[in-house]
Amino acid sequence: MHDDVDVSRLPEGITPLGNDIFAIDTMLAGYPGIVSSYLIRTERPCIVEVGTAGSARILHDAVVALGLAPADLATIVVTHIHLDHAGGTGDMAALFPNAEIVVHERGARHLADPGRLMRSAAMVWGDRLDTLFGRMSPTEARRIRSVSETGEIDLGGGRQLVTHYAPGHAKHHMGLVDTLTGDLYVGDALGVYNPLTGDVRPATPPPDFDLEACLRTLRLFGDINAQRLMFSHFGAVDTVSETIDRAEAELRLWVDTVRESHGSVGDLDHAIAMVRDKVITRYRPLPPDASPEAAAVLDTLSGAEANVSGIVHWLDRLERERAEAERGEREDRA
């Protein structure tokens, strides 16, 4: 079906990772180092994560550069339907006509009919929507396969990706395990890994962030005993247990900092300022040659403002649930 790839002649933005796996920089909004897609170039080739609508042509050209025809691609899978991961799904489906699209069942209807998702995104991002993400095109429903708690994706030759439901970041999030390599594709469940500094920061956006669900997912990922973590933001990491432990510690620190602010002031701007002062100042500075524009885009996607908003949204939900439970108890006593 395809010839061996001369890795010495690969275009910039494609990184060989061994065992027929190639990381592809999707160049979100034209900037490097923000979203990584992965091509598993096996008997039944598969792409994990597609990035935004603007990334579809970049992925198409990378797949061709790696020796495949568009008709060869068997599967496209997204870890969840946020636009930086799945915004290009409809465009990718059009470019790769034989590929089955795999997504968690809670996200499937939004790929087929993205209108509600795009309206919600427009409310959040405003005039930045088109610049950052573009517009998600619908995917034919007949080409979408949804999975629930677990599922299997055939890579050929007895090799599979096994899906695991992994909520906390989003209700439609899943992780994927390569049965040959032990690689775990983590999406945003562990947060954002910066290969330039080695830091891991949480990704806790509204409206779905849930601390307890996140912690359950982290325990699940720890129990998988992966050999390598494949971050969508950004790249492969082989210090597995240490990175999962750091991800949990960072998540708890961010939540505790916001909770401290929430309990005393309850002001979003104050909580953001506290996180910037107490948490973000701990991280290593970017090297001098790093792209400040790319760093700014990544901060927009999963920096202090977005993360704190998600944590505050979760804390407010807990307060409402607690108040409703207390009201119910009083009514029962009456």
Q: Could you read off the pLDDT of 53-90 as tens digits, one per residue? A: 999 999 999 999 999 999 999 999 999 999 999 999 99
Query: What pLDDT score was predicted for residue 123?
Result: 85
Query: What pLDDT score was predicted for residue 150?
Result: 93
> Quick one: 93 exposed, middle or buried, by C-beta within 10 A (0-12, 13-18, 19+)?
buried
Query: What pLDDT score was predicted for residue 120?
Result: 87
Query: What is the Rg, in whole angstroms, of the alpha carbon atoms belonging to the chain?
Result: 20
Residues 290/298, Cβ–Cβ less than 8 Å: no
Non-local (6+) Cβ contacts of 179 within 8 A are 159, 160, 161, 162
Q: What is the pLDDT of residues 21-30, one digit of tens each?
A: 999 999 998 9
Query: What pLDDT score was predicted for residue 264?
Result: 62
Query: What pLDDT tens digit does each residue of the chain (334 aa) get?
Result: 445 777 778 888 999 999 999 999 999 989 999 999 999 999 999 999 999 999 999 999 999 999 999 999 999 999 999 999 999 999 999 999 999 999 999 999 999 999 999 988 888 888 888 889 989 999 999 999 999 999 999 999 999 999 999 999 999 999 999 999 999 999 999 999 999 999 999 999 988 999 999 999 999 999 999 999 999 999 999 999 999 999 999 999 999 999 988 766 668 888 999 999 999 999 998 889 888 888 888 888 888 998 999 999 999 999 888 888 777 777 767 6
- Strand positions, DSSP E, the chain: 14-18, 21-25, 36-40, 46-48, 75-77, 100-104, 144-147, 150-156, 159-165, 174-178, 183-187, 192-193, 200-201, 228-231, 235-237
Cα separation of 44 and 157, whole Å? 9
